[in-house]
């Protein structure tokens, strides 16, 4: 899709103006930055798919391109476009009219393979009905089998569990404790839970407890779990930061906000919520919408909101650029003395996400289960 020089300059100008605005979400900003790089590199020779062009046209509010005047279209092309190509019906094709199927000469191969082809045609015609009949029989056979064999013993677990089973609620006592896929430190880490996070106990064995949390079903060392909440009654408040009003905050998604006075959108640190703009499935999209709505509800009903900027986990010298957190700032938001991330984690709308000094691990949470 070649672009004229005037169209190219218009798109470049609209891209610069749109990227300076602070109303874009993460996905839109990433898309427009990619488009800006393409047009800066290729100019009018930039190639876009139809879907990409429609999205770019909508985001930049581009005017429709004017069609060429009739004088710029040759007579041959005008005639070609005005006269549709003549198509012959299969039955009235002149070449087929002179050739009758009944007059074809007999072929030995046709005699040999004719019956086999007829059998294959019959098999294809009967294949779908036969498959439906077999599925119908299997479905009702399974139902009758469950009804007649409901006294069969339940399958035993693959590994022995202790008798301490149930749905007892426990609390994490460590500051950041790993949840693993199995009862040993050699098993894979599913994520980390913060102090005071509530989990449900399923079973225990050999110093490990099987739990169910916002990360799913996994294992945690028993020494880091307690029936008493260690954070109950302890106030949570930032030591530094400044007060802001609820009207100064605009929620973009569950972990990203725009704050009046800040040069860019703010990525809230310490937790991760399901994506909305780039959700992998309908379940993630729905949960991301719930997290976004819940954060908006908490901010609207807050009596006190504290905001604290923190350094992003990026390479030195890259903060404030696209190479660092897509150009966003980083910070923490406290509502009535409580970190909003801790609130969303406790309600199952987010998972803990701790970054290092210069880089972040892969994002946790499988929202499509």
Residues of CATH 2.30.30.40 domain(s) within the chain? Answer: 169-226
Q: What percent of the chain has pLDDT over 90?
A: 28
Residue 170 has pLDDT above 70, yes or no: yes
pLDDT for the residue numbered 138: 74
Radius of gyration of the chain (CA): 32
pLDDT at 96: 53
* Closest by Cα among 365, 363, 295 to 334: 295
pLDDT score recorded for residue 253: 93
Q: What is the pLDDT of residues 307-329, one digit of tens each?
A: 999 989 898 888 888 889 888 99
Question: Per-residue DSSP letters for 112-173?
Answer: HHHHHHHHHHHHHHHHHHHHHHHHHHHHHHHHHHHHHTTTSPPPPPSS---S--S--EEEE-
Domain 169-226 has CATH 3.30.413.10: no
CA–CA dist 228, 331 (Å, integer): 30
pLDDT band at 241 (very low <50, low <70, confident <90, very high): low
* The overall pTM is greater than 0.75: no
Q: What percent of the chain has pLDDT over 70?
A: 75
> What's the topology of domain 242-353?
OB fold (Dihydrolipoamide Acetyltransferase, E2P) (2.40.50)
Which residues in the chain are classed under CATH 2.40.50.90?
Answer: 242-353
Q: Which residue has the higher pLDDT, 241 or 30?
A: 30
- Is residue 114 predicted with pLDDT exceeding 80? no
- How far apart CA 3 and CA 76 sit, in angstroms, is 24
Question: Is residue 75 over pLDDT 50?
Answer: no
What confidence score (pLDDT) does residue 168 get?
85
């Amino acid at each position: 899709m070649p672009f004229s020089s005037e169209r190219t300059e218009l798109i470049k100008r609209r891209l610069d103006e749109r990227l300076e605005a602070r109303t874009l979400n993460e996905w839109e900003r990433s898309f427009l930055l990619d488009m800006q790089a393409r047009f800066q590199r290729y100019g009018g020779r930039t190639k876009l798919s139809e879907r990409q062009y429609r999205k770019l046209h909508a985001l930049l509010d581009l005017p429709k391109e004017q069609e060429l005047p009739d004088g710029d279209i040759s007579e041959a092309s005008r005639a070609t476009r005005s006269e549709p190509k003549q198509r012959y019906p299969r039955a009235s094709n002149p070449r087929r009219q002179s050739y009758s199927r009944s007059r074809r000469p007999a072929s030995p191969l046709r005699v040999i393979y004719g019956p086999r082809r007829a059998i294959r045609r019959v098999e294809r015609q009967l294949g779908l009905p036969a498959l439906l009949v077999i599925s119908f029989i299997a479905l009702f056979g399974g139902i009758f089998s469950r009804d007649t064999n409901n006294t069969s013993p339940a399958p035993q677990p693959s590994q022995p569990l202790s008798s301490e089973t149930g749905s007892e609620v426990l609390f994490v006592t460590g500051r950041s404790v790993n949840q693993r896929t199995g009862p040993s430190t050699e098993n894979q880490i599913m994520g980390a839970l913060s102090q005071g996070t509530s989990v449900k106990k399923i079973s225990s064995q050999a110093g490990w407890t099987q739990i169910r949390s916002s990360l799913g079903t996994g294992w945690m060392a028993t020494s880091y779990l307690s029936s008493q909440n260690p954070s109950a009654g302890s106030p949570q408040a930032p030591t530094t930061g400044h007060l802001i009003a609820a009207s100064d905050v605009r929620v973009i998604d569950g972990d990203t906000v725009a704050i009046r006075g800040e040069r860019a959108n703010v990525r809230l640190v310490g937790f991760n919520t399901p994506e909305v703009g780039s959700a992998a499935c309908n379940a993630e999209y729905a949960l991301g919408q719930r997290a976004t709505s819940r954060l908006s509800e908490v901010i609207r009903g807050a009596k006190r909101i504290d905001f604290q900027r923190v350094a992003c986990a990026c390479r030195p010298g890259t903060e404030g650029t696209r190479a660092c957190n897509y150009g966003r700032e980083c910070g923490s938001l406290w509502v009535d003395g409580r970190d909003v991330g801790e609130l969303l984690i406790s309600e199952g709308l987010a998972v803990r996400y701790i970054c290092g000094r210069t880089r972040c691990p892969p994002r946790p949470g499988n929202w499509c289960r």
